[in-house]
Amino acid sequence: MFASAFVLGLVGLAGLAAASPVPDLPVVPRYPGTALSKGFHLVINVTDDCKDLHPSIQNTYVTSIHTGAGLALVGNSPQPQYARIFYQNGTAEEKRFGAVTTISDSGTPPFPSGLKLVKDPASETVSTAHLDAGLGSEGVGIAAFPEPYAFLTPETYAACNESLPYYQGRYFVIIKQVKLTVGENGRVNRNIPEGCAPVRLLPECTHLNDLPKGSYSSHEFAIEDRCYKDVKSIKWGGYGP
């Protein structure tokens, strides 16, 4: 649908250009600029305003919610000091084939905790994001060129308000990942569960710290990639299509 709208747009422009003796303003898509960094925070961008949670989660930082020794779910905090530092791990070839993982270091001495998507037992399409000690899911990384925006894949991510047994049923915002399905009529179903906000997780550049001696983590394969300098300052209305 996007492709055909785009082609129509071009045809329309070409028609205009041919008919008009004065130069038309070219409709050039604009995208927010990025910088390069190995380390990044993840910032929540609610892609459908009216689905935002209350209090709003827009521009809050991805953090971790401790749920046991070496176990954590993925949550959010408005305070940058609680933002987890992430990096993509892999060789250049793994990056090229979309086979990297996304890691955050935990503990003292630091050990790797990989962003892992674990299928919800009751659902065909929904997975819950974990940040447990150990490997991350292959393919969780920053979208590559020619995608004009930088965001965590595979999409779609969703922020859901759920009660956690580990905290005696207290409610937390936790990050999930949802697979699209296409119905028999060709209609795309985004499958965002009721009460969840569809979000994009945007990388915001931050310094990837040096590791102390005796660390179990390694930054040898941390990949330098694009990220935004300050997500909350981006005025999305001025960009697109």
Ligand X SMILES: *[C@@H]1O[C@H](CO)[C@@H](O)[C@H](O)[C@H]1NC(C)=O
Q: Does 153 bind ligand X (CB under 6 A)?
A: no
* Closer residue to ligand X in complex, CB, 14/91: 91
In the DSSP assignment, the letter for residue 238 is: G
Contact range with ligand X by CB under 6 A, out of 1-9, 35-43, 90-98, 205-213: 90-98
Q: Contact with ligand X (CB under 6 A): which of 64, 89, 125, 156?
A: 89
In terms of Cα–Cα distance, which of 241, 47, 78 is closest to 152?
Answer: 47
Interacting residues of 24 by C-beta distance below 8 A, sequence separation 6+: 13, 16, 17
* Closer residue to ligand X in complex, CB, 51/66: 51
Q: With DSSP H G I counted as helix, E B as strand and the rest as coil, what are the percentages for the chain, rounded to 5?
A: 15, 40, 45
Q: How many residues bind ligand X (CB under 6 A)?
A: 23
Q: Contact with ligand X (CB under 6 A): which of 91, 181, 189, 209?
A: 91
Q: Does 210 bind ligand X (CB under 6 A)?
A: no
Does an H or E element contain 171, and which? strand 170-178
For the CA atoms of 87, 131, 59, 143, the dihedral, rounded to the nearest 10 degrees, stands at 50
CA distance 43 to 37: 15
In whole angstroms, the minimum distance from the beta carbon of 233 to ligand X comes to 13
In whole angstroms, the minimum distance from the beta carbon of 47 to ligand X comes to 5
Q: Contact with ligand X (CB under 6 A): which of 42, 53, 152, 160?
A: 53
